[in-house]
Amino acid sequence: MTDLTTKSLAELRDGLKKREFSALEAMDAYLDAIAAANPRLNAYIVVTADKAREMARASDARLARGEGGPLEGVPLGIKDLFATIGVHTQAASHVLDGFAPEYESTVTSHLWRDGAVMLGKLNMDEFAMGSSNETSYYGPVINPWRAAGSNRDLVPGGSSGGSAAAVSAWLCAGATATDTGGSIRQPAAFSGIVGIKPTYGRCSRWGIVAFASSLDQAGPIARTVTDTAIMLTSMAGFDNKDSTSVDLAVPDFAAAVERGVKGLVIGVPREYRMDGMPEEIETLWTKGLEWLRAEGAVIKDISLPHTRYALPAYYIVAPAEASSNLARYDGVKYGLRKTGKDITDLYELTRAEGFGREVKRRVMIGTYVLSAGYYDAYYVRAQKVRTLIKRDFEDAFDQGVDAILTPATPSAAFGVGDEEMNSDPVKMYLNDVFTVTVNMAGLPGLSVPGGKDASGLPLGLQLIGRPFDEETLFAAARVIERNRGEGFSPEKWW
């Protein structure tokens, strides 16, 4: 039998439905692949093999009866940020040691409702804070891609680095991920796969460990545009347990994938042409525009004048919300507890030991920008900037723009422990320069591989859409995926 793990999610789903192979066979193929790869890639924190087989058997029983949902028997990996009942849910943090929730997140419960099967929990940056998956308590994730002629370990991006590496290395058919400032799109770009952050409100945040609640949004990472569309259709939907979830019908996103781009207006924001941007990113962007134009799209130069303020404003708003959200980890209610001479001592010792350096940095920045003397100067100002960023996009859409094309990241994947990136947190934060605007404005953003750099590493293009118009992004991304050609799977070395 051909290796079941290299099938796309759509092929796997169809083969299962036709009963060409069983859900248990597919599951075992993935469990074997994980056992072989994980010691090297560190994508999974926990593999729930018994639960996985039990779920697969239940899927097989449903398929045998001619029943089953749209994802029946499809094995998925789940980012450690999603609450999964009775299973390790620690946001890859030490402070949540031993936490296994008594409830299931809405997004994962939608996936199980549709028949998907869980392989385990995926590594990530601690509390989703990071761009390289190096802040995880469980150690870094290694990108399955390597530069030509090099055996240096590269980062898969972050914070959904485990999700991206697992999908890219055929360790699951698709994965859940979350994106507060780029954590779906940047790792997808670094790992040669597809990821979409849907419109804020499209997926319920209930049962997802909160980072910055006004920016956090769940979405899928998968190997093809169609696969992400299939997953998002299941993940999305109104939930009265999340007051920011939107009561809108969920389209069949996969039906939009082959719609084409004829007549669509694609905006090109001049502010995304950054000083010192590598030549190959520029070339990639131009190629993407040419493919879209050749298939009937109209390319239009636009201006998003407040772009340069997005990153600094994000690094005020996100830490501010994080410092509030993370106040609950005090050693009393969850996870790790370090007892001290009194309750204050207990809080301090637990938080000092439980949080990693980057999380502590965010909590300190957040506490500072929210403190009485600085609230107006930093937090209120950042919120005003946020409104201006949102307005920039609205103006572009008012001028008839249907979607915007930009690079996804300013570079390809960099090395694990890269000195430059780790010498100054701002250098690491610059990874998000093209992605944070989208979270600040609450818009949908998709990253699709469009080309490679000189050393053969994948590069991603980002499509940004109108609120709740993910369908146009899938259609445009498919055009890029079709035109860019093959060769977006890593050479297996692990």
Q: Which residues are catalytically annotated?
A: 79, 159, 183
- Which listed range, 173-181, 227-235, 374-382, 466-474, lies at the site for ligand GLN (CB under 6 A)? 173-181
Shortest Cβ distance from residue 169 to ligand GLN (Å)? 21
Measured from the CB atom, is 48 or 183 closer to ligand GLN?
Answer: 183
Alpha carbon distance 56, 68 (integer Å):
12
Give the residue, chosen from 136, 159, 462, 472, that forms a contact with ligand GLN under the rule CB under 6 A: 159
Shortest Cβ distance from residue 135 to ligand GLN (Å)? 8
Enumerate residues 306-365 that contact ligand GLN by CB under 6 A: 318
- Which listed range, 124-132, 147-155, 371-379, 456-464, lies at the site for ligand GLN (CB under 6 A)? 124-132
Alpha carbon distance 444, 429 (integer Å):
21
Answer yes or no: are the C-beta atoms of 456 and 151 closer than 8 Å.
no
How far from chain centre, in Å, is Cα 216?
A: 10
For residue 3, give the 3-state DSSP assignment.
coil
Shortest Cβ distance from residue 365 to ligand GLN (Å)? 11
Number of Cβ atoms within 10 Å of the Cβ of 260: 14
Alpha carbon distances (Å) from 35 to 32, 38, 50, 118: 5, 6, 14, 15
Alpha carbon distances (Å) from 398 to 162, 393, 401, 429: 38, 9, 7, 31
Measured from the CB atom, is 115 or 161 closer to ligand GLN?
Answer: 161
Measured from the CB atom, is 52 or 310 closer to ligand GLN?
Answer: 310
Complete DSSP assignment for 431-446: GGTTTHHHHHHT--EE
Complete DSSP assignment for 51-120: HHHHHHHHHHHHHHTT---TTTT-EEEEETTB-BTTB---TT-STTTT---SS--HHHHHHHHTT-EEEE
Alpha carbon distance 96, 61 (integer Å):
36
Measured from the CB atom, is 188 or 401 closer to ligand GLN?
Answer: 188
- By CB under 6 A, residue 129 contacts ligand GLN: yes
Measured from the CB atom, is 112 or 434 closer to ligand GLN?
Answer: 434
* Neighbouring C-alpha atoms within 13 Å toward the C-beta of 179: 37
Helices and strands per DSSP (H, E), number in the chain: 16, 11
- Which listed range, 67-75, 125-133, 187-195, 377-385, lies at the site for ligand GLN (CB under 6 A)? 125-133
Residues whose CB is less than 8 angstroms from the CB of residue 343 and which lie 6 or more positions away in sequence, other chains included? none
Measured from the CB atom, is 274 or 349 closer to ligand GLN?
Answer: 274
- By CB under 6 A, residue 447 contacts ligand GLN: no
Q: Which residue is closest to ligand GLN by CB?
A: 183
Enumerate residues 211-270 that contact ligand GLN by CB under 6 A: 211
Shortest Cβ distance from residue 17 to ligand GLN (Å)? 34
Shortest Cβ distance from residue 89 to ligand GLN (Å)? 16
Task: Label residue 292 left, alpha or beta by phi (over 0 means left) and psi (-120 to 50 means alpha).
Answer: alpha
Residue closest to 488 by CA, chosen among 452, 446, 461: 452
Shortest Cβ distance from residue 431 to ligand GLN (Å)? 6
Shortest Cβ distance from residue 197 to ligand GLN (Å)? 8
Bridge-based pairing of strands 117-122 and 217-222 is unpaired
- Which listed range, 8-16, 138-146, 175-183, 300-308, lies at the site for ligand GLN (CB under 6 A)? 175-183
- Which listed range, 12-20, 176-184, 268-276, 401-409, lies at the site for ligand GLN (CB under 6 A)? 176-184
- By CB under 6 A, residue 181 contacts ligand GLN: yes
Give the residue, chosen from 128, 141, 311, 477, that forms a contact with ligand GLN under the rule CB under 6 A: 128
The residues that touch ligand GLN, with contacts defined as CB under 6 A, are 128-131, 159, 179-183, 211, 318, 432
